[in-house]
Chain A
Amino acid sequence: MLMPLMIPPVITALMWKIIVLAVTFRAMDSLRIFDVIYATTAGGPNDATTNLQIMAYQYSFQWYQMGKGMAQAVVLLLLVVMVSYLLMRLWNRASESTQ
Protein backbone atom coordinates (compact mmCIF):
# COMPACT_ATOMS: atom_id res chain seq x y z
CA MET A 1 0.00 0.00 0.00
CA LEU A 2 2.70 2.46 0.93
CA MET A 3 5.16 1.18 -1.65
CA PRO A 4 4.43 3.83 -4.31
CA LEU A 5 5.07 6.55 -1.75
CA MET A 6 8.52 5.32 -0.83
CA ILE A 7 11.37 7.20 -2.43
CA PRO A 8 13.36 5.01 -4.79
CA PRO A 9 16.94 4.29 -3.69
CA VAL A 10 18.26 5.86 -6.90
CA ILE A 11 16.89 9.22 -5.86
CA THR A 12 18.19 8.97 -2.31
CA ALA A 13 21.63 8.07 -3.64
CA LEU A 14 21.71 11.20 -5.78
CA MET A 15 20.17 13.34 -3.06
CA TRP A 16 22.60 12.15 -0.42
CA LYS A 17 24.93 15.13 -0.82
CA ILE A 18 22.12 17.65 -0.45
CA ILE A 19 20.65 15.74 2.48
CA VAL A 20 23.96 15.82 4.35
CA LEU A 21 24.27 19.53 3.62
CA ALA A 22 20.75 20.19 4.90
CA VAL A 23 21.45 18.15 8.03
CA THR A 24 24.64 20.14 8.55
CA PHE A 25 22.90 23.48 8.38
CA ARG A 26 20.04 22.39 10.62
CA ALA A 27 22.45 20.85 13.13
CA MET A 28 24.40 24.10 13.28
CA ASP A 29 21.21 26.08 13.73
CA SER A 30 19.84 23.86 16.47
CA LEU A 31 23.14 23.80 18.34
CA ARG A 32 23.13 27.57 18.31
CA ILE A 33 19.44 28.19 18.87
CA PHE A 34 18.76 31.08 21.19
CA ASP A 35 15.75 33.22 20.31
CA VAL A 36 13.09 30.50 20.57
CA ILE A 37 14.29 29.36 23.99
CA TYR A 38 14.73 32.93 25.22
CA ALA A 39 11.25 34.01 24.17
CA THR A 40 9.38 30.91 25.41
CA THR A 41 11.05 29.68 28.59
CA ALA A 42 14.20 31.80 29.02
CA GLY A 43 15.98 28.60 29.99
CA GLY A 44 13.55 27.70 32.77
CA PRO A 45 12.05 26.11 34.80
CA ASN A 46 15.28 26.46 36.75
CA ASP A 47 17.75 25.36 34.07
CA ALA A 48 15.74 22.57 32.42
CA THR A 49 15.76 24.16 28.94
CA THR A 50 19.06 26.02 29.14
CA ASN A 51 21.54 25.40 26.34
CA LEU A 52 25.09 26.70 26.12
CA GLN A 53 24.06 29.85 24.33
CA ILE A 54 21.40 30.72 26.93
CA MET A 55 23.85 29.98 29.75
CA ALA A 56 26.48 32.22 28.18
CA TYR A 57 23.85 34.95 27.89
CA GLN A 58 22.84 34.58 31.53
CA TYR A 59 26.42 34.67 32.74
CA SER A 60 27.41 37.68 30.69
CA PHE A 61 24.26 39.82 30.66
CA GLN A 62 22.38 38.91 33.83
CA TRP A 63 25.27 38.35 36.21
CA TYR A 64 27.81 40.41 34.26
CA GLN A 65 30.52 37.76 34.36
CA MET A 66 31.59 38.47 30.80
CA GLY A 67 34.73 36.34 31.02
CA LYS A 68 32.80 33.21 31.98
CA GLY A 69 30.18 33.95 29.34
CA MET A 70 32.85 34.34 26.70
CA ALA A 71 34.52 31.09 27.79
CA GLN A 72 31.21 29.27 27.31
CA ALA A 73 30.82 30.88 23.91
CA VAL A 74 34.24 29.59 22.91
CA VAL A 75 33.38 26.08 24.14
CA LEU A 76 30.19 26.21 22.08
CA LEU A 77 32.18 27.39 19.08
CA LEU A 78 34.54 24.42 19.44
CA LEU A 79 31.56 22.09 19.69
CA VAL A 80 30.08 23.56 16.50
CA VAL A 81 33.45 23.21 14.75
CA MET A 82 33.71 19.54 15.75
CA VAL A 83 30.19 18.66 14.66
CA SER A 84 30.59 20.51 11.38
CA TYR A 85 33.91 18.75 10.79
CA LEU A 86 32.30 15.34 11.21
CA LEU A 87 29.41 16.28 8.94
CA MET A 88 31.79 17.68 6.33
CA ARG A 89 33.67 14.39 6.24
CA LEU A 90 30.36 12.68 5.61
CA TRP A 91 29.68 15.24 2.90
CA ASN A 92 33.04 14.54 1.28
CA ARG A 93 32.35 10.83 1.21
CA ALA A 94 28.90 11.45 -0.23
CA SER A 95 30.21 13.68 -2.99
CA GLU A 96 32.92 11.14 -3.85
CA SER A 97 30.37 8.36 -4.22
CA THR A 98 28.13 10.36 -6.56
CA GLN A 99 30.89 11.48 -8.88
Chain B
Amino acid sequence: MTSAAKSYQRLVRQVAIALASIALLLWTVFPFLWILLTSLKSPADIISVPPSFVFTPTLDNYSALVVGEQRGQYSSTRPDFPRFFMNSLIVSLGAVALSVAAGIPAACALARFSFPGKNALAFVLLSFRFVPFIAFVIPLYILYQRLGLYNTHAGLILAYQLITLPFTVWMLRSFFMEIPLEIQEAAKIDGCSWLGVLGRVILPLSAPGISVTLILGFMFCWNAFNYPLMLAGRQTFPVTVGAIQFISYEQVLWGQMAAATIVAAVPQLLLSLMVQQYIVCGLTMGAVNDAGAATLISRRASPAAA
Protein backbone atom coordinates (compact mmCIF):
# COMPACT_ATOMS: atom_id res chain seq x y z
CA MET B 1 0.00 0.00 0.00
CA THR B 2 1.35 3.44 -0.88
CA SER B 3 1.72 6.04 1.81
CA ALA B 4 -0.83 8.29 0.08
CA ALA B 5 -3.45 5.56 0.22
CA LYS B 6 -2.57 4.93 3.83
CA SER B 7 -3.00 8.55 4.89
CA TYR B 8 -6.25 8.72 2.92
CA GLN B 9 -7.49 5.70 4.81
CA ARG B 10 -6.54 7.33 8.10
CA LEU B 11 -8.37 10.50 7.15
CA VAL B 12 -11.52 8.56 6.29
CA ARG B 13 -11.29 6.76 9.59
CA GLN B 14 -10.91 9.96 11.59
CA VAL B 15 -13.79 11.68 9.78
CA ALA B 16 -16.02 8.66 10.34
CA ILE B 17 -15.18 8.57 14.05
CA ALA B 18 -15.83 12.31 14.36
CA LEU B 19 -19.18 12.00 12.59
CA ALA B 20 -20.17 9.08 14.78
CA SER B 21 -19.30 10.98 17.96
CA ILE B 22 -21.27 14.01 16.78
CA ALA B 23 -24.29 11.80 16.06
CA LEU B 24 -23.99 10.19 19.49
CA LEU B 25 -23.64 13.60 21.15
CA LEU B 26 -26.73 14.94 19.39
CA TRP B 27 -28.66 11.83 20.34
CA THR B 28 -27.81 12.17 24.02
CA VAL B 29 -27.86 15.95 24.43
CA PHE B 30 -30.92 16.73 22.33
CA PRO B 31 -33.57 15.94 24.99
CA PHE B 32 -31.76 18.14 27.48
CA LEU B 33 -31.46 20.93 24.93
CA TRP B 34 -35.15 20.57 24.12
CA ILE B 35 -36.12 20.91 27.79
CA LEU B 36 -33.83 23.94 28.12
CA LEU B 37 -35.53 25.61 25.12
CA THR B 38 -38.99 24.70 26.43
CA SER B 39 -38.21 26.27 29.79
CA LEU B 40 -37.46 29.57 28.05
CA LYS B 41 -40.61 29.61 25.89
CA SER B 42 -43.99 31.16 26.45
CA PRO B 43 -46.96 28.71 26.48
CA ALA B 44 -47.93 29.58 22.88
CA ASP B 45 -44.42 28.84 21.61
CA ILE B 46 -44.27 25.54 23.48
CA ILE B 47 -47.28 23.99 21.76
CA SER B 48 -46.72 25.53 18.31
CA VAL B 49 -46.46 23.09 15.38
CA PRO B 50 -43.91 22.99 13.76
CA PRO B 51 -41.80 23.66 16.85
CA SER B 52 -40.35 27.16 16.87
CA PHE B 53 -36.62 27.44 17.32
CA VAL B 54 -36.64 31.22 17.00
CA PHE B 55 -38.65 32.86 19.76
CA THR B 56 -38.35 35.62 22.32
CA PRO B 57 -36.97 33.91 25.43
CA THR B 58 -38.72 34.54 28.71
CA LEU B 59 -37.85 33.78 32.31
CA ASP B 60 -41.52 33.68 33.36
CA ASN B 61 -41.40 29.92 33.87
CA TYR B 62 -38.56 30.23 36.35
CA SER B 63 -40.20 33.01 38.34
CA ALA B 64 -43.46 31.02 38.29
CA LEU B 65 -41.64 28.22 40.09
CA VAL B 66 -41.20 30.51 43.07
CA VAL B 67 -44.39 32.60 43.11
CA GLY B 68 -46.85 30.32 41.31
CA GLU B 69 -48.65 31.48 38.20
CA GLN B 70 -51.39 30.12 35.96
CA ARG B 71 -52.77 31.80 32.84
CA GLY B 72 -51.10 35.08 33.72
CA GLN B 73 -52.49 35.16 37.26
CA TYR B 74 -50.91 34.38 40.56
CA SER B 75 -51.98 31.00 41.80
CA SER B 76 -51.93 29.81 45.36
CA THR B 77 -52.51 26.16 44.53
CA ARG B 78 -49.35 25.12 42.74
CA PRO B 79 -46.64 22.51 43.00
CA ASP B 80 -44.44 23.98 45.74
CA PHE B 81 -41.15 23.68 43.91
CA PRO B 82 -38.83 25.41 46.44
CA ARG B 83 -40.12 22.97 49.01
CA PHE B 84 -39.49 19.99 46.71
CA PHE B 85 -35.94 21.23 46.19
CA MET B 86 -35.36 21.48 49.94
CA ASN B 87 -36.85 18.01 50.40
CA SER B 88 -34.45 16.62 47.82
CA LEU B 89 -31.51 18.28 49.56
CA ILE B 90 -32.50 17.08 53.03
CA VAL B 91 -33.28 13.53 52.01
CA SER B 92 -30.29 13.05 49.68
CA LEU B 93 -27.77 14.50 52.14
CA GLY B 94 -29.29 12.53 55.00
CA ALA B 95 -29.32 9.28 53.04
CA VAL B 96 -25.72 9.69 51.88
CA ALA B 97 -24.52 10.60 55.37
CA LEU B 98 -26.28 7.61 56.89
CA SER B 99 -25.04 5.15 54.29
CA VAL B 100 -21.43 6.35 54.59
CA ALA B 101 -21.61 6.21 58.38
CA ALA B 102 -22.94 2.66 58.20
CA GLY B 103 -20.94 1.72 55.12
CA ILE B 104 -17.41 2.53 56.36
CA PRO B 105 -17.39 -0.07 59.17
CA ALA B 106 -19.20 -2.59 56.93
CA ALA B 107 -16.79 -2.07 54.03
CA CYS B 108 -13.82 -2.27 56.37
CA ALA B 109 -15.05 -5.54 57.81
CA LEU B 110 -15.67 -6.98 54.35
CA ALA B 111 -12.29 -5.82 53.07
CA ARG B 112 -10.01 -6.67 56.00
CA PHE B 113 -11.59 -9.31 58.22
CA SER B 114 -12.50 -12.89 57.50
CA PHE B 115 -15.56 -14.33 59.15
CA PRO B 116 -18.05 -17.03 58.20
CA GLY B 117 -20.62 -15.94 55.66
CA LYS B 118 -18.60 -12.92 54.55
CA ASN B 119 -18.99 -13.48 50.83
CA ALA B 120 -22.66 -14.35 51.22
CA LEU B 121 -23.21 -11.11 53.11
CA ALA B 122 -21.44 -9.06 50.46
CA PHE B 123 -23.48 -10.77 47.79
CA VAL B 124 -26.79 -10.17 49.57
CA LEU B 125 -25.92 -6.47 49.65
CA LEU B 126 -25.12 -6.48 45.93
CA SER B 127 -28.27 -8.40 45.03
CA PHE B 128 -30.46 -5.51 46.23
CA ARG B 129 -29.52 -3.93 42.94
CA PHE B 130 -31.30 -6.69 41.02
CA VAL B 131 -34.52 -6.93 42.97
CA PRO B 132 -37.45 -5.07 41.39
CA PHE B 133 -38.12 -2.09 43.61
CA ILE B 134 -41.83 -2.85 43.80
CA ALA B 135 -41.01 -5.97 45.81
CA PHE B 136 -39.48 -3.68 48.43
CA VAL B 137 -41.91 -0.84 48.22
CA ILE B 138 -45.16 -2.70 48.94
CA PRO B 139 -43.99 -4.09 52.31
CA LEU B 140 -42.30 -0.76 53.10
CA TYR B 141 -45.53 1.10 52.35
CA ILE B 142 -47.57 -1.06 54.73
CA LEU B 143 -44.84 -0.88 57.37
CA TYR B 144 -44.48 2.90 57.07
CA GLN B 145 -48.23 3.46 57.38
CA ARG B 146 -48.22 1.61 60.70
CA LEU B 147 -44.98 3.11 62.02
CA GLY B 148 -45.85 6.67 61.07
CA LEU B 149 -42.86 6.95 58.75
CA TYR B 150 -44.99 7.46 55.64
CA ASN B 151 -44.55 10.95 54.19
CA THR B 152 -41.60 11.82 56.43
CA HIS B 153 -38.00 12.70 55.60
CA ALA B 154 -36.71 10.04 57.98
CA GLY B 155 -38.75 7.36 56.22
CA LEU B 156 -37.39 8.40 52.83
CA ILE B 157 -33.82 8.47 54.12
CA LEU B 158 -34.25 4.92 55.40
CA ALA B 159 -35.81 3.75 52.14
CA TYR B 160 -32.99 5.36 50.14
CA GLN B 161 -30.54 3.07 51.94
CA LEU B 162 -31.73 0.39 49.52
CA ILE B 163 -30.20 2.49 46.73
CA THR B 164 -27.07 3.86 48.37
CA LEU B 165 -25.96 1.39 51.02
CA PRO B 166 -25.02 -1.55 48.72
CA PHE B 167 -23.33 0.84 46.35
CA THR B 168 -21.42 2.58 49.17
CA VAL B 169 -20.26 -0.66 50.75
CA TRP B 170 -19.01 -2.12 47.48
CA MET B 171 -17.27 1.06 46.38
CA LEU B 172 -15.60 1.63 49.76
CA ARG B 173 -14.66 -2.03 49.98
CA SER B 174 -12.77 -1.92 46.70
CA PHE B 175 -11.06 1.32 47.78
CA PHE B 176 -10.09 -0.17 51.15
CA MET B 177 -8.74 -3.31 49.51
CA GLU B 178 -6.35 -1.23 47.42
CA ILE B 179 -4.56 -0.01 50.56
CA PRO B 180 -1.47 -2.20 51.12
CA LEU B 181 -1.72 -4.51 54.10
CA GLU B 182 1.85 -3.54 55.11
CA ILE B 183 0.84 0.01 56.06
CA GLN B 184 -1.93 -1.32 58.23
CA GLU B 185 0.39 -3.82 59.91
CA ALA B 186 2.96 -1.11 60.54
CA ALA B 187 0.29 0.96 62.28
CA LYS B 188 -0.68 -2.01 64.44
CA ILE B 189 2.95 -2.63 65.42
CA ASP B 190 3.19 1.02 66.44
CA GLY B 191 0.32 0.42 68.82
CA CYS B 192 -2.84 1.33 66.94
CA SER B 193 -6.05 -0.42 67.88
CA TRP B 194 -8.35 -1.54 65.06
CA LEU B 195 -10.33 1.67 65.35
CA GLY B 196 -7.04 3.55 65.28
CA VAL B 197 -6.06 1.78 62.07
CA LEU B 198 -9.41 2.68 60.57
CA GLY B 199 -9.27 6.32 61.70
CA ARG B 200 -5.58 7.09 61.22
CA VAL B 201 -4.63 4.94 58.23
CA ILE B 202 -7.52 3.60 56.18
CA LEU B 203 -9.79 6.66 56.19
CA PRO B 204 -7.12 9.28 55.36
CA LEU B 205 -5.68 7.10 52.59
CA SER B 206 -9.04 6.48 50.99
CA ALA B 207 -10.36 10.05 51.41
CA PRO B 208 -10.57 10.62 47.61
CA GLY B 209 -12.46 7.36 47.22
CA ILE B 210 -14.86 8.28 50.01
CA SER B 211 -15.59 11.67 48.49
CA VAL B 212 -16.30 10.12 45.08
CA THR B 213 -18.60 7.61 46.77
CA LEU B 214 -20.37 10.45 48.58
CA ILE B 215 -20.93 12.41 45.39
CA LEU B 216 -22.11 9.43 43.34
CA GLY B 217 -24.40 8.32 46.15
CA PHE B 218 -25.81 11.84 46.35
CA MET B 219 -26.54 11.77 42.63
CA PHE B 220 -28.33 8.41 42.87
CA CYS B 221 -30.47 9.79 45.69
CA TRP B 222 -31.20 12.98 43.80
CA ASN B 223 -32.34 10.87 40.83
CA ALA B 224 -34.50 8.53 42.89
CA PHE B 225 -38.06 8.47 41.62
CA ASN B 226 -39.67 5.15 42.49
CA TYR B 227 -39.35 5.15 46.26
CA PRO B 228 -40.53 8.73 46.92
CA LEU B 229 -43.39 8.27 44.45
CA MET B 230 -44.96 5.78 46.83
CA LEU B 231 -43.47 6.61 50.21
CA ALA B 232 -43.71 10.43 50.13
CA GLY B 233 -46.66 12.80 50.11
CA ARG B 234 -47.08 16.38 48.89
CA GLN B 235 -45.06 17.68 51.85
CA THR B 236 -42.00 15.50 51.25
CA PHE B 237 -41.86 15.05 47.44
CA PRO B 238 -38.35 15.47 46.04
CA VAL B 239 -37.77 17.30 42.74
CA THR B 240 -38.12 14.17 40.60
CA VAL B 241 -41.66 13.39 41.73
CA GLY B 242 -42.33 17.11 42.14
CA ALA B 243 -41.77 17.74 38.43
CA ILE B 244 -44.61 15.32 37.61
CA GLN B 245 -46.95 17.42 39.76
CA PHE B 246 -47.10 20.04 37.02
CA ILE B 247 -49.38 17.64 35.14
CA SER B 248 -52.85 18.16 36.55
CA TYR B 249 -56.37 17.28 35.46
CA GLU B 250 -57.03 20.71 33.99
CA GLN B 251 -53.75 21.37 32.21
CA VAL B 252 -50.11 20.53 31.80
CA LEU B 253 -47.75 23.36 32.72
CA TRP B 254 -45.03 22.34 30.27
CA GLY B 255 -42.97 25.49 30.66
CA GLN B 256 -42.88 25.34 34.44
CA MET B 257 -42.20 21.62 34.38
CA ALA B 258 -39.25 22.20 32.04
CA ALA B 259 -37.95 25.00 34.26
CA ALA B 260 -38.27 22.75 37.31
CA THR B 261 -36.34 20.02 35.52
CA ILE B 262 -33.55 22.40 34.57
CA VAL B 263 -33.25 23.77 38.11
CA ALA B 264 -33.28 20.21 39.48
CA ALA B 265 -30.50 19.22 37.10
CA VAL B 266 -28.13 22.04 38.12
CA PRO B 267 -26.66 20.40 41.27
CA GLN B 268 -26.11 17.17 39.38
CA LEU B 269 -24.42 18.94 36.48
CA LEU B 270 -22.04 20.74 38.83
CA LEU B 271 -21.24 17.58 40.77
CA SER B 272 -20.75 15.45 37.67
CA LEU B 273 -18.36 18.02 36.20
CA MET B 274 -16.39 17.78 39.46
CA VAL B 275 -16.04 14.01 39.43
CA GLN B 276 -16.19 13.45 35.67
CA GLN B 277 -13.21 11.13 35.43
CA TYR B 278 -14.31 9.01 38.36
CA ILE B 279 -17.89 8.41 37.33
CA VAL B 280 -17.35 5.68 34.76
CA CYS B 281 -14.76 3.86 36.82
CA GLY B 282 -16.87 4.28 39.94
CA LEU B 283 -20.00 2.86 38.36
CA THR B 284 -18.24 -0.27 37.18
CA MET B 285 -15.54 -0.64 39.80
CA GLY B 286 -17.54 -2.62 42.33
CA ALA B 287 -18.49 -5.21 39.77
CA VAL B 288 -15.71 -5.41 37.20
CA ASN B 289 -12.38 -4.26 38.59
CA ASP B 290 -12.68 -6.21 41.74
CA ALA B 291 -11.55 -9.78 41.12
CA GLY B 292 -13.28 -10.93 44.30
CA ALA B 293 -16.60 -9.57 43.12
CA ALA B 294 -16.15 -11.18 39.74
CA THR B 295 -15.62 -14.65 41.13
CA LEU B 296 -18.43 -14.06 43.60
CA ILE B 297 -20.86 -13.18 40.85
CA SER B 298 -19.84 -16.18 38.80
CA ARG B 299 -20.04 -18.60 41.68
CA ARG B 300 -23.45 -17.52 42.91
CA ALA B 301 -25.49 -16.71 39.92
CA SER B 302 -28.87 -16.35 41.52
CA PRO B 303 -29.71 -13.15 43.39
CA ALA B 304 -32.45 -15.05 45.20
CA ALA B 305 -30.33 -14.88 48.34
CA ALA B 306 -32.00 -11.55 49.03
* Residues of chain A having any CB pair with chain B under 8 Å: 1, 4-5, 18, 21, 25, 28, 31-32, 34-35, 38-39, 52-53, 56-57, 60-61, 66, 69-70, 72-74, 76-77, 80-81, 84-85, 88-89, 91-92, 95
Asked whether, in the complex, the Cβ of A73 is within 8 Å of the Cβ of B132, the reply is yes
**A84 and B16 contact, Cβ closer than 8 Å, known pairs A21-B288, A34-B134, A66-B142:** no
B302 & A76 in contact (Cβ 8 Å cutoff): no
Nearest chain B CB to A22 CB, angstrom units: 9
Question: Which of B115-123, B222-230, B270-278 touches A?
Answer: B222-230
Query: Which residue from chain B places its CB closest to the CB of A18 in the assembled complex?
Result: B288
B298 in the interface, Cβ–Cβ < 8 Å? yes
Q: Is the CB of A70 within 8 A of B135?
A: yes
Instruction: Decide if B134 touches A73 in the complex (CB within 8 Å).
Output: yes
Smallest CB separation, B22 vs chain A (Å)? 15
Q: How large is the interface on B (under 10, 10 to 19, 20 to 34, 35 or more residues)?
A: 20 to 34
A-B contacts, 7 of them at CB < 8 A, read A4-B12, A5-B13, A25-B287, A32-B133, A61-B141, A73-B134, A81-B303
Q: Which residues of A contact B133 (CB under 8 A)?
A: 32, 34, 53
Q: A32-B133, A84-B301, A91-B297 provided; 10 other pairs, C-beta below 8 A?
A: A21-B287, A32-B132, A56-B132, A57-B230, A76-B132, A80-B131, A81-B304, A88-B301, A91-B298, A92-B301
